[in-house]
Structure 1
C-alpha cells in the first residue's frame, strides 16, 4: 500500500500533509567574517574575567621579583636583557593561560568571539593604514612632548642595558617583542578590554578609553601620546575589520620599528 508520508521524494517526517522538518542548527565556525563582531564580554562576566587575568599577571610578577631576590644572594648582577626576556616570555604565557581559562573556555573555546577570526575586509588596506597610523602617532607625540623635551636627552641607557648581552639573547628578545607580544596584547586589549568597554560606551568611547588604558599600562610616561594614538587606532581597526588579526600585524611592525630604532641608537652610541 502507498503511504504519502513515505514518498521517497520527501525526507522522513516531511511528506505531503505534514509540517516540514526543522533545519538543523549550523555548527559553530571560525566566522563568518562578514558577520558583525559583537562582544559577549559585557557585564560582570567581562569585568571579572579582566580582574582574574590581571590578578594572574600580578602574581607572576610577584613570583618573579621573589625569585630575583633569591638569585641575588647567590650571584652579583643580572643581565637586564635577560630580565626583559623573562618578563616578556612569562607575561605572554600567563596572559595566554589567563585568557583561555577565564574568557575563551567559558565561551566554549570560541577564540573568534574575542576577535581571532578572518578579517571582514581585505588586509591590503594595511599598506596605507600602517604608515598612516604610525605617522599620525609620531606627529601627535612631537606636538605634545616637544615643548617639554629636555635640550640634553639622556644617553647610555640602552647601551648599559645591552652590556654583556650576547647576540642570541638580543635576537630572542626582538622575536618576543615583534612576534609574540603583539598576539596576546591584541587579544587582551582589543578582544577583551575593548570588547567589555565597548558594550558600555559604544565603539568610539570604547576605543578612546581602551586606547588610553593600553598606553597607561606600558608605564612609559614620555611615550604616552604615541602609545595612546596607536591604541585607539588599533581599536578602530579591530572594529572596522571585525578582527584583531590586522591589528596584530600593525602592532608587530610598530614594535619592529621601535626595536630597530633603539638598537641602532645603541650601536651608534
Structure 2
C-alpha cells in the first residue's frame, strides 16, 4: 500500500505526514497569502482600474512594502503547518513543539556558540566567496542598483524601510521579521519539512535537503552559502535536542541582531 493511498501511516508510533495533504496545505496557504498580498497592493494604490501613475510609482518605490509582502508569505508557511496539524497528519509534539532534551545552560551555550560561528566565520566566508565568484567570472551586478553596492543592497533597503515607517513602525518591523518570521520558518522547515524528510530518508539527507530548501526560499544568491549553513545548523539543533526551541532561539537571535544593527 502506498503512502498516498492513505491519510497517514504510523511508523514506530509516529505519524507519517501525507505528501498529498502537505501539497494541498502548502498550495492553499500560499494561495491565501498571494490573495492577501494582492488585496494589500490594491488597497495601497486605490481601487481603480487605472491608478494614478504618481501613486503607483510611489508605492513601488517604497521599500517596506516588499517586506510586508514577504511577511504575508511567511504567515502562509505557518498556516501550512497549522493545516497539517488540523488534518491530524501530525501533532505539535511530533513537529518539535516540546521541551528540549538538554538543560537550559546547555541550550544557551549551544545557541551562543552557533551564533558566534555564523557571525564571525560563516558570514565573512560566504561574502568573500561571492565576491570571488563575481571577480572570477567578470560579472557586473551593479545595473539596477543605482549607486548602491549590490553586496550591500539589503542593508540599504532595510535602512530605507526603517526611515519610511518611523520609530514605532521600525519596532513593529523588528518584531514581525525578527521574531514572528523565525517562528513560522522553524515550524515549517525544521518542524514540518524536516520531520517528513526524516521519515523518508537518512538523517543527513534530510538535514541537507531542508537546508537547501530553506536557502532557496529566500532567493538571495549573495547569502546562499550562509543560508545553507544556517539551515544545517538549525536542523542539527532540532535533531540533537528533539525540539524546535533551540532553533527558534538561534533564528530569532540572528534576525533581531541583524535588524537592530542595520536600522538603529
Once superposed, which parts of structure 1, at least 4 consecutive aligned residues long, lie more than 6 Å away?
Answer: none
Q: Which has the larger radius of gyration?
A: 1
Tell me, in whole angstroms, the C-alpha distance in 1 between the residues paired with 2:91 and 2:98: 10
Name the stretch that deviates more: 221-230 or 135-144: 135-144
Counterpart residue number, 1:229: 229
The 5 A counterparts of 1:8-47 are 40-42=15-17, 45-46=18-19
Alpha carbons of structure 1 residues 73 and 108: separation in structure 2 relative to 1, 3 Å: closer
CA distance 1:233–1:53, change in 2 (3 Å): same
Could you tell me which runs of 5 or more consecutive residues in structure 1 were left unpaired when the two chains were aligned: 1-36, 265-269
Aligned pair count? 224
Q: Once the 2 structures are TM-superposed, how far is the Cα of residue 158 of structure 1 from its aligned partner?
A: 4.0
**1:50 positional shift:** 4.5
Contact 1:210–1:231 (CA<8 Å) still a contact in 2?
yes
Structure 1 CA distance for aligned equivalents of residues 183 and 13 of structure 2: 20
TM (norm. structure 2) is 0.73
1:18-51 per-residue CA deviation (whole Å, 9 max, x = no partner) reads xxxxxxxxxxxxxxxxxxx986334xx1453144
Q: Distance in 2 between matches of 1:257 and 1:248?
A: 14
Residue number in structure 2 paired with 1:64: 37
Gaps of at least 5 residues in structure 2 are: 1-11, 135-139, 143-147
- Given that residues 134 and 230 in structure 1 are in contact (C-alpha distance below 8 angstroms), is that contact kept between their aligned partners in structure 2? no
Q: How does 1:1-269 map to 2 (within 5 A)?
A: 40-42=15-17, 45-46=18-19, 48-69=21-42, 71-73=44-46, 76=55, 77-78=58-59, 79-82=62-65, 84-85=67-68, 87-88=70-71, 90-101=72-83, 103-107=84-88, 110-122=91-103, 123-124=107-108, 125-149=110-134, 153-154=149-150, 156-263=156-263
Residue aligned with 2:16, SS:
coil
Q: How big is the alpha-carbon RMSD for the aligned residues of Structure 1 and Structure 2?
A: 2.9
Deviates more, 1:106-115 or 1:70-79: 70-79
Distance 1:52 1:138 in 2: 34
Q: By how many angstroms is 1:200 displaced?
A: 2.3
User: How far apart are residue 163 of structure 1 and its match?
Assistant: 4.4
